[in-house]
Homo-oligomer: A and B are copies of this chain.
Amino acid sequence: MSQKTILIAGLGLIGGSLARAIKLGHTDYHVSAYNRSQAPRDFAIQEKIVDEVSDDFAALAVKADVIILNFPVQLSIDFLKKLATLPLKENVLISDSGSTKTEIVAAAETIFAGKSARFIGGHPMAGSHKTGVIASDELLFENAYYILTPSTLSEPKDLAELKDILSNTRAKFVELSPKDHDAMTAVTSHFPHVVAASLVNNAHDFAQLMPFTENLAAGGFRDMTRIAESSPDMWAEILMSNPDNIIYQIDQFSQKLAQIKQLIVQRQSAEIWDFFDQARKLRSLMPIHKGALENFYDLFISVPDKSDVIHEVLGYFAGHNLSIINIKINETRVEINGVLQITFKTEQDQKTAEHLIKENSDYDVYK
């Protein structure tokens, strides 16, 4: 394995986590990082996340064997244009981590046509509610899908090379065409964000008529609108970068709503039952249940709403070396889940905990 210089451009959550994972897997690599603002650079050097930092993109870029751009798509395209003007290393391998792929791959193919640079689009599909390099984590992408989109500027061996560089992300690499990536993420992510935001705006409009409405917004509504608090910068950009697929989903979905409306208008209860039954069956078969992006194991424990009950329950686990990721009290009973929710890192810990609770208390436990 030859020593390489890797430039991480953009030191946020994604860039920082990629840098950590690359260093961890390839201690012989020289990892440099470009970031415009200083604080993330200082943090990254201090924490030894990278070997070198600078706000001079060109100076780092010309020394790099591999460049990974971690910006919104439009900004990454601007950086591609800058790169095309620089005396880059022969056969430099360029990738990105943006949420859409068609636009940037097309831009790269135009910008680098006839040049020796190689380009592979990338989309590591993981995130956190935390942001910034301070929250970066070499395990952020573990078990997450990491989509790689080849281009006319790449060959199979280039993909193998990039996967090797990124191997310690422990992500599941999947090759997709940029078009397929954008069509599928429109269905599973981009359009659902439009729906979540619309549900919130819709409820708010209605609450102008009946203010108590907002008090009843809990349980399912809460789950369905959580992502409506995502960054408007990011989501406006994604919509602008994947317009046709999202428009297609809006049309498809609006048709579905029109169909169910007709069923209600015509009081076709059997068909309405089928509609819900189909959804229930389909969802139960979706790989969604395996935790495609999150390998966490939840236990729900029905406990009385009393002080120190978490301490009591954790006491049952004492000495059993269980790895707990998260503990949540679902305070209002409007939640469909039980009251105390404990998230374990492994299925084995989940099982052991279930056993310990049943052995030591008469609380109901379910998964």
Assess whether A10 is interfacial by the CB under 8 Å rule: no
Distance (whole angstroms) from the CB of A255 to the closest CB of chain B: 9
CB pair B193 A282 closer than 8 Å: no
In A187-236, which residues have CB < 8 Å from any B CB?
187-189, 192-206, 210, 212-233, 235-236
CB pair A184 B197 closer than 8 Å: no
Q: Which A-B residue pairs are the 9 nearest by beta carbons?
A: A291-B331, A197-B279, A232-B276, A327-B327, A311-B314, A236-B273, A144-B333, A232-B277, A218-B292
| Across-interface contacts of A337 in B (CB, < 8 A) | 129
Assess whether A43 is interfacial by the CB under 8 Å rule: no
In A216-272, which residues have CB < 8 Å from any B CB?
216-233, 235-237, 239-240, 243, 246-247, 249-254, 256-258, 260-261, 264-265, 267, 269, 272
Task: Across the interface, name the chain B residue whose C-beta is closest to A170.
Answer: B305
CB pair B203 A199 closer than 8 Å: no
Among candidates B199, B232, B275, B291, residue contacting A330 with C-beta atoms closer than 8 Å: B291
Assess whether A315 is interfacial by the CB under 8 Å rule: yes
Distance (whole angstroms) from the CB of A243 to the closest CB of chain B: 5
* Complex Cα gap A344–B318 (Å): 23
| Across-interface contacts of A84 in B (CB, < 8 A) | none
Given contacts A145-B215, A206-B252, A232-B276, list 17 more A-B pairs with CB under 8 A: A125-B334, A143-B305, A185-B216, A189-B221, A192-B221, A196-B279, A217-B286, A228-B279, A229-B279, A229-B284, A239-B264, A239-B272, A291-B331, A291-B332, A307-B320, A325-B331, A326-B327
| Across-interface contacts of A265 in B (CB, < 8 A) | 243, 247
Task: Please choose the segment from A25-33, A57-65, A134-142 that sits at the chain B interface, where 4 or more of its residues have CB less than 8 A away.
Answer: A134-142
Q: Which residues of A pack against B, CB within 8 Å? A: 125-130, 135, 137, 139-145, 174, 176, 180, 183-185, 187-189, 192-206, 210, 212-233, 235-237, 239-240, 243, 246-247, 249-254, 256-258, 260-261, 264-265, 267, 269, 272-280, 282-284, 286-288, 290-294, 300, 302, 304-305, 307-308, 310-311, 314-315, 317-334, 336-339, 364, 366
Among candidates B129, B145, B202, B319, residue contacting A338 with C-beta atoms closer than 8 Å: B129
Distance (whole angstroms) from the CB of A182 to the closest CB of chain B: 11
Overall SS of chain A's interface: helix
Copies of the protein in its oligomer: 2
CB pair B226 A189 closer than 8 Å: no
CB pair A189 B253 closer than 8 Å: no
Among candidates B294, B325, B326, residue contacting A229 with C-beta atoms closer than 8 Å: B294
Among candidates B197, B302, B319, B328, residue contacting A276 with C-beta atoms closer than 8 Å: B197
* Complex Cα gap A342–B185 (Å): 30
